[in-house]
Structure 1
Amino acid sequence: MMQSSQTTSIKKKESILTYFLLGLLIVSSFLIGSLYTKVQILEKSLSGKDNSQKVAGIQVAANEGNQPVPSVSPTISFENSDIKLAKDDHINGNKNARIILFEYSDMECPFCKKFHPTAQQIVDTYKGQVSWVYRHFPLSLHANAQKEAEASECANDLGGNTAFWKYVNTLTNRTSSGGTGFALADLAPLAKEIGLKEAKFKTCLDSGKYSQRVKDDIEEGSRLGISGTPGNILLDTKTGKSKVMQGAYPFENFKQVIDEIINVY
């Protein structure tokens, strides 16, 4: 009789344990399913952000990751702007062109590297109607960008506007971008390569002579609403109106806006 009672007790305990384990399995399955769903939603959210950045082709500073990203096809709406051509601006093309493309750029920005030939294509295509002004906007997340910008100013100091553009074009073409794509140790040798006196260039660069000049460009760009690179502003000098186009848009997008300015205004 005692053995039968013990057997019954054991079976009850086994039954309770079975139900407990079954309940635990159900709860665990629910929690795992819920966690998986959240992970999927998070991955899609992050994927969407990454894709929008890639499509827009714009690099923002690390602390500006939530900046709005422009659409792929910009809606043409022009605004009055107080952006002006400065005496120390670096101009590629006709100084008296009706339309000026102001580019706020970072020589370590991969999207700026991608956009560089597009800007040149615009100048070449519109033959005297559009000029390109290069202004500095080195991002803090790119370790070498500030010094590279200063180096281009030293090139301008020693060789004028022609040397500036030759220096910028060469460095932009060679850097692998990303922050340290062009070694700081190679800045002076590059100056020598394009025909400048290396010793004088190095003295200029080491002195930090143009550090504030670069920072002034950054401050002006920020005032005008630039938050990433390449930050582009098309100015119609005839009407004083402008169009901000932040990002490495393809030539066709710029052509749409430029043609609108030329043919309508």
Structure 2
Amino acid sequence: MPKFNPTLATAIGVSILTSAVAVGASVYMGQSYTDMAVNKALVEQLPGAVDKTLKDREIAKINAAKAKILSNWSGAADTSIEGRHIYGSMDAQFTLVEFSDLECPYCKRFHDTPKQMADKSEGRINWEWQHYPLAFHNPVAEVAAHASECVGEVAGNKAFWAFTGEWFARTQLNGQGVEDVERLAQEVGAPLDAYRQCMESGKYQALIEGQVKKGTNMGVTGTPATVVVDNLTGNKLLVKGAQSTQVLLQTMQQLVKMRDEAPNQDKLDTPAEGAVNEIGAQ
């Protein structure tokens, strides 16, 4: 029987232990490298995931604002007719053609008057927008006018009207403008890229200048100014200033009395004294 050799046994034990440690270390290191790779991948993906989450939240906010804002302008058709921005029934007996400046304090005060009249008229009255940015409110007033047209182009007539209402709600007025016009455009439904492309084109400058010239030729000298049109006869009366509903209704009554007269396309009449005020007298 061979003798027990303690030195040999110790050596064998150490060898086995060393092998076990080596194997364990190898497994551990392999797992560590795997964990490190996974963690690195997660870290690399994290900014993108955070950005997507923030973007999704922002889109949700914009969509919620859009639904709320547009619901206030349900009286406007989704699309404009022959480039005309009309709020209310296309078959209305009377049209309130308003020449307005989105930076004008009096226009802001007046803005809800024709809207309420159209809303409550059961289709007998509609409201049409014409741009009349005043020189001392430029360049912001012209930019606002162009922005409203671009919104109308890429998002529709209802979005155009919603834009005008929200601009008045947010502007600091008198040429100071709105803090974030692009956000406003998005919140009424304008796709941002299409809106930016339209704004960069400057395509509506001629239209805006044409409407200013048209208003001036009709006797408009300040804003707001409303041309009340009898759609049955074509007769028109010019009402200057931020007038009340009562004044506008009286003007319509005067137009009804004029229905026995031949339409006058060249000369624009004005209502009786008291129904017309210059902007400085408001």
Secondary structure of the residue aligned to 2:136 is coil
Give 2:104's aligned residue: 109
Are 1:174 and 2:145 an aligned pair?
no
Q: CA deviation at 1:264?
A: 7.3
Matched letter for residue 168 of structure 2:
T
Matched letter for residue 119 of structure 1:
P
> Comparing both chains, which one has the higher relative contact order based on Cα–Cα distances under 8 Å and sequence gaps of 6 or more?
1
Q: 2:258, 2:148 → 1: CA distance?
A: 37
Q: 2:114, 2:163 → 1: CA distance?
A: 16
Q: Segments of 4+ in structure 1 off by > 4 A?
A: none
Question: Structure 1 length as normaliser, TM-score?
Answer: 0.64
Give 1:148's aligned residue: 144
Q: CA deviation at 1:87?
A: 2.2
Secondary structure of the residue aligned to 1:127 is coil
Q: 2:157, 2:118 → 1: CA distance?
A: 16
Q: CA deviation at 1:109?
A: 0.3
Q: CA deviation at 1:153?
A: 0.4
Backbone CA RMSD of aligned residues: 1.8
Q: 1:195, 1:235 → 2: CA distance?
A: 31
Q: 1:189, 1:174 → 2: CA distance?
A: 12
Give 2:227's aligned residue: 233
Matched ranges for 1:33-112 at <5 A = 87-112=82-107
Give 1:211's aligned residue: 205
Cα offsets for 1:158-188 (capped at 9, x unmatched): 01111111111111222131111324xx221
Secondary structure of the residue aligned to 1:141 is helix
Q: CA deviation at 1:132?
A: 0.2
Matched letter for residue 194 of structure 2:
K
Quick one: structure 1 residues 129 and 194, their matched pair in 2 at CA, closer, same or farther if it must change by over 3 Å?
same
Are 1:125 and 2:120 an aligned pair?
yes
Structure 2, unpaired ranges of 5+: 1-80, 260-282
Matched letter for residue 206 of structure 1:
E
Secondary structure of the residue aligned to 1:254 is helix
8 Å CA contact 2:236, 2:255 repeated in 1: no
Structure 1, unpaired ranges of 5+: 1-85
Give 1:8's aligned residue: none
Q: CA deviation at 1:262?
A: 4.8
Give 1:255's aligned residue: 249
